[in-house]
Structure 1
Amino acid sequence: MTETISHIVLFKYRPSITWADFESHFETFMALRTRCVHPTTGKPLMLSMKAGKNRSWEPFSKGMTHGFVLDFANQEDLDYYLTRDPGHLAFSKAAGPLIEDSVVVDIRDGILFGPAAPRPLAANEYKGSCHCGQMEWTAKLDTAEHVLCHCDTCKRLGGGPYSCNQIIPKEDLRIFRGVPKVYVYTGASGKNVNCYYCGNCTSHVYHHQDAMPDKVIVRTLLLDGGDAMPATGEIFAEGRLGWVRDLQDGLKGQPNGTM
């Protein structure tokens, strides 16, 4: 059975789109056929590409006006194209304002049953999960690092000397499993801080401050690989406990399982 995957994309363009914008968009899309190459082999990621305007007389198009069919040799090549290829990522960002709606379907010829392909992580994207596993999410970090917060609220919420965080754009956090509960308190700014956490195990996923409506504060230690990220900064340093900076391996450890 062939592994070839057909990536089928249908677009409904905005009524306000100009012919010049459409022509540029279409030419850029078609150029991806040769521009998008494998990072190791240098060969084109696509096996073939077809495109055209909908010409069906049946009333089932749902408003989609144009279709594109991109064939890839395997799931790995398609995943790289979707999440990491710089040419495609730039095209997608530029195309957003031109498109009112879209439909995307990936098929393998002859495969009629089975699960969908797992979603790959994009560049600088990390998967996170709570303690019980009922919540999972991804977060994009420009740099894999922790910023320590020594405020009294973080100490009380987490029961530790500080929390590990990073402030990221709101759209760079994606929760794909579970629905968090929320606890609201008044922050140092005098505005509300919304703390989103797993309702079962109480792991804090992220905070959203009314003072920063376009940003969220993610708990970086809950991300895969978080234990290997360095701490590169801190806030509310005046609240740092006196022994934190001096804490080293000299503390007497407890055997695993005694806590």
Structure 2
Amino acid sequence: MAQDKDSPAAPWLGMSRRSVFLGGALLATSGLAALREPVRAVKPFSEKEFDALIPRVVGPWTAENSSDLILPPPDQLSQKLYEQLVTRVYLAESKPPVMFLAAYSSIQQNNVQVHRPEVCYPAAGFVITENEPFTLKIAPNIEIPSRFLVAKQSRRSEMMIYWTRVDNKYPLKWSDQRLAMAEANLKGYYPDGVLARVSMIGLDQTEAAETISDFARELEKSATPAGRKILFG
């Protein structure tokens, strides 16, 4: 059919081949970017749901909420960084008190990622005197790559073992943490992540490592399947 000479021309008429090519390339690129945009892999927990994942009775220890634990600096405790934060002190008649912290976010990306004790303790006036890799054995067939730290302030000496889980990885360094995030992104999703920290006040590092390891093993036994997945993967 002949086109009415008074009707408007098709929008692509009069465009150069170069313009048409560039326009098509931009459309293709935007389409690929949309297809490759990672998606959320884990739904967020409510405060009540997350609190229930962490058992209040762990072997011989029973929990009390505590405001005395060393926390990340206030600007790092925003909802943007941590969706959920649980802090407790666990007491037992025959065991030293144990302090526990779990900081969780259902999505880890760039500036939304777990922050380590190497940041929050110095910000609270502590000096890190020991910082070594530690293999946390929580079951015969389960070993968690973690770190053993000693933080000192005046007369207080706090010894801790902490681990970070990002997706199914246990990064010991910031660079490993970012690599775990990138690997998940390439697979098409944003990973979740948790920092779990168990600590106690004392002077004997060997006793602290043994007590904290005992607590972690009892925690794994006492947690619900969903809680074990969050804390230990």
Structure number with greater Rg is 2
Q: TM-score range by the shorter chain?
A: under 0.3
TM-score by length of 1: 0.25
Structure number with higher helix proportion:
2
Higher relative contact order, chain-length normalized (CA < 8 Å, sep 6+): 2
